[in-house]
Amino acid sequence: MSTITIKSPADFHVHLRQGSLSQLIVPHVRKGGFDVAYVMPNLKPPITNTELALKYKADLQKIDPNVEYLMTLYLSPELTPDEIRKASNAGVVGVKSYPRGVTTNSDGGIESYEAYYPIFEAMQEVDMVLNLHGEVPSDANANIHVLNAEPTFLPHLFKIHEAFPKLRIVLEHATTRAAVEAVKKCGPTVACTITAHHLALIVDDWAGQSWNFCKPVAKFPDDRQALRDVVKEGHPRFFLGSDSAPHPPHAKSTSSPTHACAAGVYTSPILLPLVAHLLESFSALDKLEGFASTFGRAFYKLPIDESTNKVATLRRAPPGTLVEGEYNLGDESLVPFWAGKEIGWILSDSE
């Protein structure tokens, strides 16, 4: 097989930031082969209402009008059932829940889910999607740490799903066998995104290597195997959400004993080739279109429009093709995941 075509690849979890960084990275959605971006709301200030979401969408469209931006709100006490109805009418697709303090700009994250049941009720009525960052905050006294934060969260998923069985829920960026099994056990309204980098990394890869550090952290080899297996199985409720999260090189480096590096791995500009490369590494290349397009589109009720949606074509990269090391725009600079490493596929409109 020397070429692969994928109808309208969709990235169901991406951070597009603000300001000058946004100028650099928004065009990378299409550069990475994608037509659809499901946009995270963890800005400063967070996107907590319809007005902010529409303003943000307009900003993104100004940078690249050819991407379909699916907007989300940041779950916070500011949100009301009325605002949910308003957001839904305005085309906002989902609401993202961040547990407090677990990742970039999550200081306003939630501590208790039951307080939000009226919001979930309204979301269920208008058929909005709840996107869960599925980790609980670390707590040494309870032996909760970055490696069991996700399994420890799963009872919350079950509880919300049981209380709102018709509410569509996505467990974002799953990293553990436990999470894969939990989502499988749930009904058809519960799905799961998987990032590219979690198909590649394990804990050993970020031990002493802050560039591979993200939240949720990559877990054990057996967990990675579970992610690979569910992709290879072609399970329709498991699909790509890159969680591509740019941080400038100085923030990803660990130069000081008193400052930890920023959590996040940047994959947008090489996303579709990288996903193809990784899926091929575990013999799942035939599931690429499902994983990177049709499964997520089905769950999100976004059918492909053959007349307008893009078809991405990947071709076999010449042996020795390496991923570009750095992207720059003005003062902004980014080093992508897999920089300098060999990759087996490139987009056919790339050189």
When binding is defined by CB under 8 A, the residue of 77, 159, 340, 349 that contacts a copy of itself is 340
Q: What does R_g of the chain's alpha carbons equal in angstroms?
A: 19
Q: Nearest approach, Cβ of 249 to a copy of itself (angstroms)?
A: 8
Q: Nearest approach, Cβ of 165 to a copy of itself (angstroms)?
A: 35
CA end-to-end span of the chain? 19
Do residues 193 and 240 lie in contact, with contact meaning Cβ atoms separated by under 8 Å?
yes
- The rounded distance, in Å, linking the Cα atoms of 132 and 40 is 11
Site stretch for a copy of itself (CB under 8 A), options 23-31, 70-78, 186-194, 336-344: 336-344
Site for a copy of itself in 135-164 (CB under 8 A): 138, 140-148
- The rounded distance, in Å, linking the Cα atoms of 6 and 288 is 8
Whichever of 54 and 339 has its CB closer to a copy of itself, that residue is 339
Do residues 210 and 259 lie in contact, with contact meaning Cβ atoms separated by under 8 Å?
no
The pair of three-digit structure tokens given for residue 271, joined into one six-digit string:
């996303």
Residue 221 within binding range of a copy of itself, rule CB under 8 A: yes
How many chain residues touch a copy of itself (CB under 8 A)? 42
Burial class (CB in 10 A: 0-12, 13-18, 19+), 163: middle
Strand partners, 39: 14
When binding is defined by CB under 8 A, the residue of 220, 229, 232, 332 that contacts a copy of itself is 220
Residue 202 within binding range of a copy of itself, rule CB under 8 A: yes
What torsion, rounded to 10 degrees, do the Cα atoms 119, 122, 128, 132 define?
20
- The rounded distance, in Å, linking the Cα atoms of 75 and 95 is 6
Q: Nearest approach, Cβ of 302 to a copy of itself (angstroms)?
A: 34
Residue 101 within binding range of a copy of itself, rule CB under 8 A: no
Residue 343 within binding range of a copy of itself, rule CB under 8 A: no
Whichever of 90 and 207 has its CB closer to a copy of itself, that residue is 207
Q: Nearest approach, Cβ of 324 to a copy of itself (angstroms)?
A: 12
Whichever of 23 and 225 has its CB closer to a copy of itself, that residue is 225
Q: Nearest approach, Cβ of 160 to a copy of itself (angstroms)?
A: 26
Q: Nearest approach, Cβ of 256 to a copy of itself (angstroms)?
A: 8
Do residues 178 and 150 lie in contact, with contact meaning Cβ atoms separated by under 8 Å?
yes
When binding is defined by CB under 8 A, the residue of 51, 111, 222, 342 that contacts a copy of itself is 222
* Nearest of 234, 229, 218, 222 to residue 293 by alpha carbon: 234
Do residues 296 and 12 lie in contact, with contact meaning Cβ atoms separated by under 8 Å?
yes
The residues that touch a copy of itself, with contacts defined as CB under 8 A, are 138, 140-148, 202-204, 206-213, 217, 220-222, 224, 252-263, 335, 337, 339-340
